[in-house]
A and B are shown apart, each in its own frame.
Chain A
Amino acid sequence: MAVDGYGAATAVPGPASLQGQAGSSPELVQLLTPEGERVTHPDYPLELTAEEVKALYRDLVLVRRIDTESIALQRQGELGIWASLLGQEAAQVGSGRALGPHDMAFPTYREHGVAWCRGLDPVKLLELFRGVSHGGWDPAEHGFHLYTIVIGAQTLHATGYAMGIQRDGAVGEDGQAVIVYFGDGATSQGDVNEAFIWASVFNAPVVFFCQNNQWAISEPLERQSRIPLYQRARGFGFPGIRVDGNDVFACLAVTRKAMQAARDGQGPTFIEAFTYRMGAHTTTDDPTRYRLASELEAWKLKDPLERVKAYLVRTGAADQAFFEGVDEEATVLGKRVRTACQTMPDPQPLAIFDNVYAEPNALLEAERAQFAAYLDSFASEEVAQ
């Protein structure tokens, strides 16, 4: 594992390669070209049955549907905001499907595809973006931590969690490992760099999965780094690898290998999934203010869904009925998500005071009682009228 990462890191390209086209760079692990052709990589053999490929395709289509439905819901005022994963489906589904049931994932606010792979109902995500809760799911239930909005903070949590796994001796074939997601912009944060150091020094079983979508809101990657991000890992003492983030096969293979290395006691790996944020940063952002339409057009040709579809068609693994079936499933899912969002009740006002502390708290109880009385005073006013 170490050899892979360090080996790849020896060919130091100039900053210009940051602009390199995914697929054309020798530093980029790719197993499925944008045209849907299967290619091989000596370090990442991957055997997938037709059923497995179809399952991945289904994931990609369904998470994209969750995303487009959520954008529409935001436009209609049902959600406060939405952070779109458009273009990043393969990075999320590939890495998400590489995880075992006992692994733990630490997401940012954009990991809806990983959430899907971990079996979290997308409606839970909508609760957060609607403003009904701050997340509210039990991370242990799905091996999926809460969304973290403060950039980079979760990389340290993931590292500490991994140190716990290590202490518990949960290593080896049936062992556990951690994956933590973050963006290209996040790599500038102190917390993230500290996480790299901790993970390295303690050889923690954690995989740093960076989705380099080329933008941190309006700032291009050059504002964060002058070398390819995966090469940073070397300086921290662990392997870094760049993968075509729009290639679900490659993301699956590279993440699987890194997670197994972590479980086997070989420590952390940095994976840079080279991808592109096809949409706005969030629904409140207007990317036409800072980036060129031509860039978007170029990346459209590398769509993560289209290449799997092309592959399935080319190999004859799937017929028209399969694609129609998946689309139908997406429609049903979209409708379910939409209805659940529209009918989601607001929490009770007094819920503000719940779950702040484990034990009763005199100050809070007094505030709760006061506020309840205050609310009641309106109710009795209404009755009086």
Chain B
Amino acid sequence: MKRSLIDIVDLSTQELDELIACAKDIMAHPEKYSEICHGKKLATLFFEPSTRTRMSFEAAMYELGGNVISMSSAASSSAAKGESVADTARVISCYADIIAMRHPKEGAALVAANNASVPVINAGDGGHCHPTQTLADLLTIDIQKGRFSGLTVGLCGDLKFGRTVHSLINALSRYEDVRFVLISPEELRLPDYVKTDVLEARGIAYEETADLEGAMPSLDILYMTRVQKERFFNEEDYLRLKDSYILTPAKLAGAKKDLAILHPLPRVNEISVAVDDDPRACYFKQVLCGKFMREALIIKLLKEAGTI
């Protein structure tokens, strides 16, 4: 049966575990998978530019022996001529076996999925969801820690608008005994509905703090995000706060030896380059994990659709 991935909550815990196992198997035995998508086509529909996500999907499909077709650019495409997302999805379904779509409007991926006759993977729909980023995050944590249960996960930076943070909380809070430390300025705290609907509803322990260094010693995972200037009402608040949430070697002084530092990338300045050589920095591994999880996901959805 055709199935799409719009939101990380569309996947059960068992499915997450299976995807992680599959991605690890691909990493260990790439030759086993190098022809699995032979003759199949992935269409990448990016209505807004995101070169790294698009290339990750394309590299994933090539490594599975498949092909990629792509819109040259959003500006010259049918979208610029006013074609609806629904129609675009119907048309592209005639060319491709699976679609990866990024669109600036929230909910666009669901519209595409409801109209496409092939599986649709949401590669980001505005500020709403970006489930393959969360898959990358989960594989990185699994490889570094070998487990999700019992971890103390620090989320730092923009917790209000950061969609990757909300998805990661949603995914990790299904595992036993996970604790969250929410580190952000007052202005960018985690929205109440995430606290009530996810954390409190599932009885997950969490604490909120504005102090990154103070929280550091308790953390097993530190997930950094960007604090963007445009999220603040005034320049002074931004200037006053921005340095508090920049990770430097000095701020890592009290951290555990086996801390894993993640970041969805691209970073601007929230992790100083001096941290890159620290063995605890995992954000480039995370990029690699993203590609392997996309491979596992493409295989899963094409198998469920009966295409491979």
The answer to whether A and B come from one shared complex is no
Measured CB to CB, the residues of A under 8 A from B are none
